[in-house]
Structure 1
Amino acid sequence: MGLLTAGEPLSWAETKKYADFVRREGAKQFVRLWRKHLNSTGAALFWGDEIEYILVRIDPETKEASLLLMAAELLPYLQWEETHSPPGTPIEMLWRPEYAAYMIEGTPGKPFGHLPEYLNTVEYNMQRRRDLVQKRLPENCYIMCLTTFPRLGCPNFTYPPAPPTPNSGASRSIFYPENAIFGAHPRFKTLTRNIRERRGSKVAINLPIFRDVNTPNPFIEDLTLYHDGKDPSATSAALPDHVYLDAMGFGMGCCCLQVTFQGCCVSEARMLYDQLTTICPIVMALSAATPAIRGYLLDVDCRWGIISGAVDDRTEEERGVKVA
């Protein structure tokens, strides 16, 4: 995921000074790499999975589930083999931080190959990753493969409890607390703040409510319970018949399974892309992986719409809301 390993990220005010330069040089770099590798052949097909896991705590008395803000404590233990082994030592699994303080990302130590026998090792490696994390977790805490925690954004959905800070912090969310963002690396809060500052407002995600016979029509949520009313724009983007979300964490705080391929040549990469382009939307819909958020049932199939809204940094002019 290209984590920063040295230096400090730039604020939006600093970044926009170099925006044109980055766009121009990035396009040039892409063209150079494309020409360099266009006719390359002879490489082997490699692929691998990336799984974003969610950490959950079950209260032993009330049996209520909450998100465990423990990723920063876990990662040094999980990365010990990688950081303490001599260069060139085979590593069984790799671990990386993710956006939320209740998320971790695990991958195989090296990519799988094209031979059928590699398929026999995939599930075993996945299970080994889960076992390693589970052994490090306290009692009543679990590693899970959930795309979206159903109570994400509800009051006290984290452990330890962390209140939102709508008047300060990176996101200014009335639902999503600052402490739920992974704080041991500057990337995540910087992204959150820069998107909000470039956009000129908080992100606004409106997801259609799932309707049944008991759903009010229209469905209009009373959001005054979540803020003090000092900021009139705190909930002004909320739409009727939708569940309103106002932070990058609602999208980037979702988990998923991703698979990355390296084709042996450009032609094979194109073939893989064309085949997967038709399959992936169907599988995503069949997964029905995001049935609920903020305690409400949603009329959506997957996290795609949530994530796209969570990183929408377009200004009002770019969104067509306001004439420049």
Structure 2
Amino acid sequence: SRVQSSLARPRPARAAAAMGFLRESAPLSWEDSQAHLRFIREHGLEQFLAVFQRCQGISADPFKWGDEVEHGIFRLTGGADQADRSVKVALRSPEVLRELRAAEEKLRAAGGGRGEEACTWMPEFGRWMLESTPGEPFEGVGGLVGLEAQMALRRRRLAAALRPGEVAPTVTSMPLFGVADFCEPR
């Protein structure tokens, strides 16, 4: 099956130690996923044990870490004083991702967008969401000093890519899902 073949393929030794986006794909339906649950549980445990055994003796390795923030893209409709004021899911993350990635590439080409100024943008579960991460991992506990500024940088860059009337809060759900006329475009 598709899940078995992707999990069973041999990987290079360093792949398990690497972090980051693997690939963009479509999720299985709940019904289709049921046939793969046992395999996923068993192989997830096997993979964890293999990585643990391979890495348990590592010492004096630099402590690198990062964060990821999930952003929803919403469109505010109606004025603040209007009775029909509402919020809709904006299904624009592929378009916004293209714009953000192009802006990052332009910064790098101009000699910027490196180190603490680097941002990485990835798709999230739905067309209304995207994920932001630092372009490079933080190192050690000292990296905490730059975390808040790096998150603020990503929020500014994302806000600059939005249309008037759009906002991108860091939420993972939308209370109006399924309510009539909850997204745009329809």
- With normalisation by structure 1, the TM-score equals 0.40
2:129 corresponds to 1:111:
no
The 3-state SS of whatever aligns with 1:155 is coil
- Residue 69 of structure 1 deviates from its aligned partner by 0.9
Distance 1:57 1:20 in 2: 41
Give the corresponding residue for 2:183: 158
Task: Note if contact 2:24-2:123 (Cα within 8 Å) is conserved in structure 1.
Answer: no
The 3-state SS of whatever aligns with 1:42 is coil
Determine which structure has more spread, i.e. the larger CA radius of gyration. 1
Cα deviation, 1:181-223, whole Å, max 9, x if unaligned, reads: xxxxxxxxxxxxxxxxxxxxxxxxxxxxxxxxxxxxxxxxxxx
Task: Note if contact 2:123-2:129 (Cα within 8 Å) is conserved in structure 1.
Answer: yes
2:53 corresponds to 1:63:
no
Distance 1:9 1:59 in 2: 31
Give the corresponding residue for 2:153: 128
Alignment of 1:290-305 (within 5 A): none
The 3-state SS of whatever aligns with 2:73 is strand
Q: Which protein, 1 or 2, shows the higher relative CO under an 8 Å CA cutoff with sep ≥ 6?
A: 2
Distance 1:33 1:115 in 2: 24
Cα deviation, 1:270-294, whole Å, max 9, x if unaligned, reads: xxxxxxxxxxxxxxxxxxxxxxxxx
- Residue 72 of structure 1 deviates from its aligned partner by 1.0
Paired AA for residue 141 in structure 1: E
Alignment of 1:90-239 (within 5 A): 90=114, 92-116=118-142, 118-160=143-185, 162=186
CA spacing shift, 1:9–1:58, aligned 2, 3 Å: closer
Cα deviation, 1:132-191, whole Å, max 9, x if unaligned, reads: 11111111111112343332221111122x3xxxxxxxxxxxxxxxxxxxxxxxxxxxxx
- Residue 4 of structure 1 deviates from its aligned partner by 2.6
Give the corresponding residue for 1:4: 23
The 3-state SS of whatever aligns with 2:136 is coil
Gaps of 5+ in 2: 1-19
CA spacing shift, 1:15–1:30, aligned 2, 3 Å: same
Distance 1:27 1:144 in 2: 35
RMSD in angstroms over aligned alpha carbons?
Answer: 3.5
Distance 2:65 2:108 in 1: 24
- With normalisation by structure 2, the TM-score equals 0.66
Paired AA for residue 38 in structure 1: Q
Cα deviation, 1:215-243, whole Å, max 9, x if unaligned, reads: xxxxxxxxxxxxxxxxxxxxxxxxxxxxx
Task: Note if contact 1:48-1:108 (Cα within 8 Å) is conserved in structure 2.
Answer: yes
- Residue 107 of structure 1 deviates from its aligned partner by 0.7
Task: Note if contact 2:121-2:133 (Cα within 8 Å) is conserved in structure 1.
Answer: yes
Among residues 58, 65, 78, which one is paired with 1:47 in the alignment?
A: 65
Paired AA for residue 4 in structure 1: R
Q: What percentage of residue pairs aligned between the two structures are identical?
A: 27
- Residue 123 of structure 1 deviates from its aligned partner by 1.5
Give the corresponding residue for 2:5: none
Task: Note if contact 1:60-1:140 (Cα within 8 Å) is conserved in structure 2.
Answer: no
Gaps of 5+ in 1: 163-324
